[in-house]
Structure 1
Amino acid sequence: MSIIVVDDNATNQLIIKTILTKAGYSDLKFASSAQELFDLLGLHCTLVKERNAELILMDMMMPVMDGLETCKVLQADSRFKDIPIIFVTAVGDSNKMAEALDAGASDYVMKPINRMELLARIRSSLRLKKEIDWHKERDQRMKNKLELAKQVQRSVLSKVIDDDNISIRAVYQPSSELAGDFYAWYRIDQHRYGVILLDMMGHGISASLVCMYISSMLRDTITRVSDIEQAIHELNHSMNQLHMEDELINYYFTAIYMVIDTKEKKVEYVNAGHPSGIAYVDQQAALLEHGCGAIGLFQTLTVEKQTLHYQDNLTIILYTDGLTDYMNHREDMPAAKLAELLNDKYKLEPSAIVGLLLPQDSDAIQKDDICLVKIETK
């Protein structure tokens, strides 16, 4: 720990040095001007020299650049803005002192220096610095954990499938570090594929953890349970296990879950409270309508499976409501309108579709995750 004393008067430096040394502060550095202070700190260097500077005691009246301007320079640099600055000054103008505090100084001591007052204000400022440093370290640890969680979350998203039977790919634009949208698909056997797109309630750590919980059981559920109605019931049961008595709400998600059979040329699906998907069956648009409520919202669900047949080709577009909300300024957009907009665009790559649908010059802030999944049979 070091304290830097900035004063162009050698006598004042000696007085402060004597007071601080007797009080047990041994790591002291001295500067006679703002420039010397900047050199000590390494203000104009890429590598900060004085990383352990805990406090600056600074005179208000100094040559070339006064204490007030010096304080403003340090406050404008993120590397030094958290170092407490105490002005030690003979200036008795209360307006000047108020200006100094507004500029970022933490406190001031009037000359002639009262030893007890100076030491008390130093202790107070150092306690504040310790508290700030603790919060910064905690925030950095949390940031590192969030980054790791984000990487884990991205790693469990399904990779592109592009084989002799089908092509499945997605585009995903999370609104925050940890998102609530999730998609997965698995090859069940030679001709059947299970696909799910879900939108978890909320965002952040809770939503991400629940997504990881669901992803851990999805592969087994999709590949083991041949009946998709039973699969939805199992997912609903699993979600209800997360209920906590101290919370007023259950965790839940909306989803479209489907099994595509490329040999029988049919799609069985359940829409659990999710925005209607759009299927282009032999180039004719059909909506994948609701089949039950959101998963996890109630203990029991009445699930209604739907079946879709096709002859030559099939393209399915699944999306979360973040896409239509952003397109329509957070107002509901009917699926039929989106199907009409996509009528001559659904053959494009998912990223190109999203790029065309989203407003290019909008000042709107993306408040929800945007996800689009495209499925094409061959």
Structure 2
Amino acid sequence: MSILVVDDNPMNVMVVEEMLKRSGYEEVECAQSAEEMLRILRGTPEEGGAPPRSIDLILLDLMMPAVDGIEACRMLQSDERLRDIPVIIVTAIGDSRKLAEALDAGANDYVTKPINKIELLARIRSALRLKRELDWHKERDLRLREELNLARQVQEAVFPAGVDEEAYRIRSYFRASEELAGDLYAWHVLDSHRVMIAVMDAMGHGISSSLISMFTASVLKEAMHAQIRPERIVGEANRRLMQLRYGNELVQYYSTGICAWIDLREGTVECVNAGHPPGLVVRRGGRRVERLGATCPPVGVFENLAIRSEKVRLEPGDTIYLYTDGLMDLFPGDAEEKTNALIERLARSGEDEEALEELLVLGSLDKRPDDRCLVRVDVKGVAETA
């Protein structure tokens, strides 16, 4: 472990340095001012000088000319790279106000002159023990951030790319509130006129909801390849979520969602809404809006789920919006007022991509971050046989 001794008195530096080395601390650096201390800690690469030194502890004299120990502590705290180095103030004065000021400025402990060797070594051991624990936590946090970043990339890789078919076009807009998201969207293209789309929102935030989201995404992908009825897909998602077993029996994870089967050979959208905000069918030119409201409870709550679907006619020029409740938090009022405000905002946005993407970054009225997901389907045509 490396220790930096900072004192403007060369004799004091020599005594402390020798004391430390005789006690087994071989890596001892010395500085006679706060400026020299910072040069050692930061290095001087721009001048072709020494690189920064890795220091585990600083013994800092309180009374120094130019920059005293209190101001030196503030300088250390202002540098993100240096603020976690523990500092023990060394002082010959017994002014409790000065010592309190030093501790408030970032010092961790203090010893008084003349230095008691046993006391000094005990305080050094204590400070270094805390430093090792802090380094361990920082390393663990770094690994966790790296793993979360990888998990986020994997999660985003699951999301399908936009689709532009003969009879429809699908675009998605998504933003996670944290490293990982509980929202998801998925679709399975059957042909140029038929597609299955689902948007779901797992309860909560962070790792737990993202795991439920990833599990649900895998279930949806499998179910969409085997089924073309939204009731069966939602039923399968509910069955699989109910099979999960949680360590805390008082916690029940569930998801709201909307699953839509768009068949432009028939000119219809058939939808199951499992306790989710209503899907929207905006008629050509925005002249009218139809809501695809809830038709059953959320998935993952009840073993036996009474599922029913709702079917709506579609025409060329219609637009379908499926979204999660993070977009609702942008607007004031109750659920009905929020939905009306969102409808108005979407109608104004029209084909403006930037206006739709702006919805993802606007601040929520309640100041609480939430995932935001929006899927837009433009109906370009309906088969003549419809």
TM-score > 0.5 by shorter chain:
yes
Counterpart Cα distance in 2 of 1:253 and 1:370: 15
Structure 1 pair 362/240, CA: closer, same or farther in 2 (3 Å)?
closer
Are positions 1:26 and 2:26 aligned together? Answer: yes
Mapped contact 1:281–1:313 kept (Cα < 8 A): yes
Structure 1 pair 373/139, CA: closer, same or farther in 2 (3 Å)?
same
Match of 1:376 among 365, 375, 378: 378
Are positions 1:80 and 2:70 aligned together? Answer: no
> Displacement of 1:127 after TM fit?
0.5
3-state DSSP class of the match of 1:322? helix
Counterpart Cα distance in 1 of 2:64 and 2:345: 68
Amino acid corresponding to residue 19 of structure 1 in structure 2: M
Partner of 2:290: 286
Amino acid corresponding to residue 315 of structure 1 in structure 2: T
Structure 1 pair 61/303, CA: closer, same or farther in 2 (3 Å)?
same
> Displacement of 1:90 after TM fit?
0.5
Are positions 1:302 and 2:306 aligned together? Answer: yes
Partner of 1:341: 344
Counterpart Cα distance in 1 of 2:140 and 2:66: 39
Partner of 1:246: 248
Match of 1:230 among 232, 249, 261: 232
Structure 1 pair 359/120, CA: closer, same or farther in 2 (3 Å)?
closer
3-state DSSP class of the match of 2:94? coil
* Matched positions, count: 376
Mapped contact 1:278–1:339 kept (Cα < 8 A): no
Counterpart Cα distance in 1 of 2:339 and 2:371: 21
Partner of 2:141: 139
Structure 1 pair 364/294, CA: closer, same or farther in 2 (3 Å)?
closer
Mapped contact 1:317–1:346 kept (Cα < 8 A): no
Amino acid corresponding to residue 320 of structure 1 in structure 2: T
Amino acid corresponding to residue 6 of structure 2 in structure 1: V
Match of 1:167 among 149, 156, 169: 169
Mapped contact 1:345–1:353 kept (Cα < 8 A): no
Alignment map for 1:150-229 (pairs within 5 Å)? 150-229=152-231
Are positions 1:105 and 2:104 aligned together? Answer: no
Counterpart Cα distance in 1 of 2:345 and 2:13: 75
Mapped contact 1:192–1:260 kept (Cα < 8 A): yes
Counterpart Cα distance in 2 of 1:208 and 1:76: 36
Amino acid corresponding to residue 41 of structure 1 in structure 2: L
Counterpart Cα distance in 2 of 1:22 and 1:361: 59
Counterpart Cα distance in 2 of 1:106 and 1:204: 34
3-state DSSP class of the match of 2:250? coil
3-state DSSP class of the match of 1:53? coil
Partner of 2:3: 3
Mapped contact 1:327–1:358 kept (Cα < 8 A): no
CA deviation vs aligned residue, 1:36-62 (integer Å, no higher than 9, x gap): 111111267689934420111111111
Unmatched 5+ stretches in structure 2: 381-386
Counterpart Cα distance in 2 of 1:254 and 1:9: 70
Structure 1 pair 273/8, CA: closer, same or farther in 2 (3 Å)?
same
Counterpart Cα distance in 2 of 1:343 and 1:75: 47
Structure 1 pair 203/48, CA: closer, same or farther in 2 (3 Å)?
farther
Normalising by structure 1, we get a TM-score of 0.93
Name which of structure 1's ranges 12-21 and 69-78 shifts more when overlaid on structure 2.
12-21
Amino acid corresponding to residue 110 of structure 1 in structure 2: T
> Displacement of 1:343 after TM fit?
7.3
Counterpart Cα distance in 2 of 1:94 and 1:339: 60
3-state DSSP class of the match of 1:373? strand
Mapped contact 1:256–1:270 kept (Cα < 8 A): yes
Unmatched 5+ stretches in structure 1: none
3-state DSSP class of the match of 2:56? strand
Cα RMSD, aligned residues only: 2.3
Mapped contact 1:158–1:185 kept (Cα < 8 A): yes
Counterpart Cα distance in 2 of 1:360 and 1:126: 45
Amino acid corresponding to residue 30 of structure 2 in structure 1: F
Structure 1 pair 48/311, CA: closer, same or farther in 2 (3 Å)?
farther
Structure 1 pair 3/336, CA: closer, same or farther in 2 (3 Å)?
closer
Counterpart Cα distance in 1 of 2:346 and 2:27: 73
CA deviation vs aligned residue, 1:213-247 (integer Å, no higher than 9, x gap): 11122222112112221221111001111132533
Counterpart Cα distance in 2 of 1:346 and 1:34: 58
Counterpart Cα distance in 1 of 2:77 and 2:50: 15
Counterpart Cα distance in 2 of 1:39 and 1:292: 67
Mapped contact 1:194–1:223 kept (Cα < 8 A): no
Structure 1 pair 172/333, CA: closer, same or farther in 2 (3 Å)?
farther
Partner of 1:58: 60
Amino acid corresponding to residue 288 of structure 1 in structure 2: L
Counterpart Cα distance in 2 of 1:351 and 1:257: 26
Name which of structure 1's ranges 200-209 and 342-351 shifts more when overlaid on structure 2.
342-351
Structure 1 pair 248/44, CA: closer, same or farther in 2 (3 Å)?
farther
Are positions 1:352 and 2:355 aligned together? Answer: yes
Match of 2:269 among 249, 267, 270: 267
Partner of 1:121: 123
Structure 1 pair 54/245, CA: closer, same or farther in 2 (3 Å)?
closer
Amino acid corresponding to residue 9 of structure 2 in structure 1: N
Mapped contact 1:194–1:259 kept (Cα < 8 A): yes
Amino acid corresponding to residue 90 of structure 2 in structure 1: V
Mapped contact 2:181–2:209 kept (Cα < 8 A): yes
Mapped contact 1:172–1:370 kept (Cα < 8 A): yes
